[in-house]
Amino acid sequence: MARAWEVNGLSPDAGFRTAAGRIILTRWREMMSSRDGTLTGGDIEDLHAMRVSSRRLRAAMDAFADVFPASSFRRYLREVKGITDTLGDARDLDVAIEHLTDLIPDLELLDRPGIEGLIDRYEEQRRAEDARIRALFARLDDEGYAEKFEAWVTKHTGITVSRLRPAPPEAN
Partner 1 sequence: MAKPRPVTGIDPSRRMRPNARRILATRIDEVYQYDGLVADPANITQLHDMRIAFKRLRYLLEIFGTAFSGDLDPFLEQVKIMQDLLGDIHDCDVQVPMLEAHLSWLEGQEAVSVERMLSNARRGRQPADETIALERFRSRLDAARRADERPGIHTLIAMRRAQRIVLYNQFTTEWRRLKHERFRQRLETTLGLH
Q: Which residues bind partner 1 (CB under 8 A)?
A: 4, 7, 10-17, 19-20, 23, 55-56, 59-60, 62-64, 66-67, 96, 103, 107-108, 110-118, 121
Using the minimum distance from each CB to partner 1, give the nearer residue, 10 or 151.
10
* Nearest distance from C-beta of residue 79 to partner 1, angstroms: 19
Cα–Cα distance for residue pair 167/5, rounded to 1 Å:
7
* Nearest distance from C-beta of residue 112 to partner 1, angstroms: 6
Using the minimum distance from each CB to partner 1, give the nearer residue, 110 or 131.
110
What does each C-alpha distance from 74 to 81, 126, 172 come to in angstroms? Answer: 10, 30, 32
- Quote the distance between the C-alpha of residue 155 and its chain's center: 23
* Nearest distance from C-beta of residue 149 to partner 1, angstroms: 18
Using the minimum distance from each CB to partner 1, give the nearer residue, 59 or 151.
59
* Nearest distance from C-beta of residue 138 to partner 1, angstroms: 28
Annotate 52-79 with b (16+ C-beta within 10 A) or e (fewer).
bbbbbbbebbeebeebbeeeebeebbeb
Using the minimum distance from each CB to partner 1, give the nearer residue, 14 or 146.
14
* Nearest distance from C-beta of residue 156 to partner 1, angstroms: 9
Cα–Cα distance for residue pair 164/26, rounded to 1 Å:
8
Specify whether the CB–CB gap between 45 and 166 falls below 8 A: no
Listed in sequence order, the residues at least 6 apart from 137 whose beta carbon sits closer than 8 Å to its beta carbon are 35, 39
Query: What DSSP state is assigned to residue 171?
Result: G
Using the minimum distance from each CB to partner 1, give the nearer residue, 10 or 135.
10
Specify whether the CB–CB gap between 24 and 57 falls below 8 A: yes
